[in-house]
Amino acid sequence: MVRLHTYSSYVCGGSLITSRFVLTSAICVDFSNPKKVLLGGHDMDLPNTFLEVLIDRKILHPQFDMSNYKHDIALLRMKQEVPFSDHIRPICLSINQPLERVQSYTLTGWGVTGDGDLSRILQETSLVDVDPSICNRTFSGQIDRSHICTFGVNGDACTGDSGGPLSAELPYNGTKRAFLLGIVSFGLDSCRGYGLSTNVAHYLDWIKNTIEEN
């Protein structure tokens, strides 16, 4: 995954999906206005391990609506292509084949931890899949199959995790690959219990067409 920054500070996460495009939350882009992408590192105390690239285009989903968490998805185009390596590579999207809904996900991010501060080191936790109707009641919004509702036994996404990946390792050509299934969108203030992510599968056509047009 990648870090999104203003010129001075970290604002949220994102996922590299091509050599030039990052997928993230529209809430993050609209509210925080990130200016650059940091790729390739895990530990913010080792700044030289990150590649820094400026953002030159921000594309929010045209139907994004902050009031009801709808269409919380955005693409960021970097000013230049990034070289792939052992530490910088895109996460898989299931463009050509449908994926069955999974029972559990991996959430990664540099968000706030139990001590109340943003993590300096990339963290991960497991979340279980929950019927979206539960999130609909929890968040009093218009939640449907364009969202993924999750529950975290050991905690959920927190401040700073928005835009980051909800992923799962799935079979692909005889091996297993990490697939991007969700984009962290919204959760409870307690950072525990139920959380809401944008269902990437619902937006694959928009992602593909937007990249081709830009």
List the domain range (segments joined by +) for residue 136: 104-201
> Do residue 73 and residue 133 come from a single domain?
no
Q: What is the pLDDT of residues 94-133, one digit of tens each?
A: 877 666 668 899 999 998 887 788 999 999 999 999 988 8
> Do residue 126 and residue 146 come from a single domain?
yes
Q: How many domains does the chain have?
A: 2
Question: Which CATH number characterizes residue 70's domain?
Answer: 2.40.10.10
Q: Say if 96 falls within a structural domain.
A: no
> Do residue 126 and residue 190 come from a single domain?
yes
Q: Say if 109 falls within a structural domain.
A: yes
* 113 Cβ neighbours under 8 A, 6+ residues apart: 119, 123, 158
User: Range with the lowest mean pLDDT among 79-83, 126-130, 188-192?
Assistant: 188-192
User: Range with the lowest mean pLDDT among 43-47, 71-75, 109-113, 141-145?
Assistant: 141-145
Enter the pTM of the model.
Answer: 0.93
> Do residue 59 and residue 15 come from a single domain?
yes
> Do residue 123 and residue 196 come from a single domain?
yes
Q: Say if 97 falls within a structural domain.
A: no
> Percentage of the chain with pLDDT > 70?
97
Q: Say if 26 falls within a structural domain.
A: yes
Predicted local confidence at residue 61, as pLDDT: 97
98 contacts 211 by C-beta, under 8 angstroms:
no
> Percentage of the chain with pLDDT > 90?
67
